[in-house]
Amino acid sequence: MSLFPINLFGDKILRSKTNPVKDVDAETIEQIKSMFDTMHNAGGMGLAANQVGLQKSIIVLDLSMVKGYEKTKPMVLINPKIVSISPETVFLDEGCLSLPGVRGKVERPSMIEVMYYDTDLKEIRQEADEWLARVILHENDHLNGIYFTDRVSDEIRRKVKRDLLDIKNRKINFDYPVTEKELK
């Protein structure tokens, strides 16, 4: 098992957009395997490449621990694009491996259509609803430099401000490998 340290709130890479993947070589496959190992080790259900220091447009997902998704196979989404969203939205609590311990209600579309490439660079179009849609949107936000806390109410943002500062300054304990605090 090969683990990446997870970048945390305040790390510059999490605010930058990732680069499209043009080729999937052996190194990319190994990085994807390590992303899955890292996500599972940290107890996550989704992970974007920039959360582990890779400037690639790659998401890994595994919702098999979520009720109703037990038979869902792990997924790799390369260069994902949200093609359509439903007008219906749902507010649900979200968390993030890059913001450990921070939670907040986020309004997201209840259904989406996403286009992405698999590891063979075969184009796939897929409809997703409920948790799958939410996790894809959450991780796709990461690929575009957006935290879920950018999408919460001002009231929640004020409530978590201190927690975010503690995460940025590495003043809390982490249950999984994380990056060192960035020096200015």
Task: Indicate which residues carry an active-site annotation.
Answer: 139
Tokens of 168: 């940025």
Closest CA to 6 of 40, 38, 45: 38
Provide the token pair at 56. 């690639």
**CA 49/CA 143 separation, integer angstroms:** 8
Listed as own residue / partner, the contacts of 117-126 with beta carbons closer than 8 Å and 24 or more positions apart are 117/21, 117/77, 117/78, 117/79, 118/76, 118/78, 119/24, 119/28, 119/29, 119/32, 119/76, 119/78, 120/24, 121/23, 121/24, 121/78, 125/83
Distance CA 92, CA 104 (A): 8
